[in-house]
Amino acid sequence: MPKKMRRLALRSALSFKAQENGLTVVDAFNFEAPKTKEFKNVLSTLEQPKKVLVVTENEDVNVELSARNIPGVQVTTAQGLNVLDITNADSLVITEAAAKKVEEVLG
């Protein structure tokens, strides 16, 4: 598939999530250590549904380890973001830095 079409599909999927109010932008995830309980509390504070896609700017080991035992939560980077993951998730939680990175790629 041409790069231009992939970008258009990604842009459309993100726009659809934003229109559904399924897009939440957070400052950052600052976990000193991987704690599933803390991550679960963050998600419940944000009132997220069961299937959540968390997007970070770069690979964050503490976020990945904190989220891996929570059913329905998937973590990816801004570079690894794809249409399939976006459409499968009920909600998208993205950091500000990751949003800027995605914005640069999409133009």
Residue with tokens 């897009």: 23
Q: What is the largest CA-CA distance in the chain?
A: 42
d(CA 57, CA 41): 21
Fold of 3-106: Ribosomal Protein L4; Chain: A; (3.40.1370)
Residue 13 is predicted with a pLDDT of 94
Q: What are the pLDDT digits (tens) for 49-89? A: 889 999 999 998 999 999 999 999 999 999 999 999 999 99
pLDDT at 107 over 90: no
Q: CA torsion, points 69, 17, 106, 28, in degrees to nearest 10? A: -40
Rounded to two decimals, the pTM is 0.91
- Domain ranges across the chain: 3-106
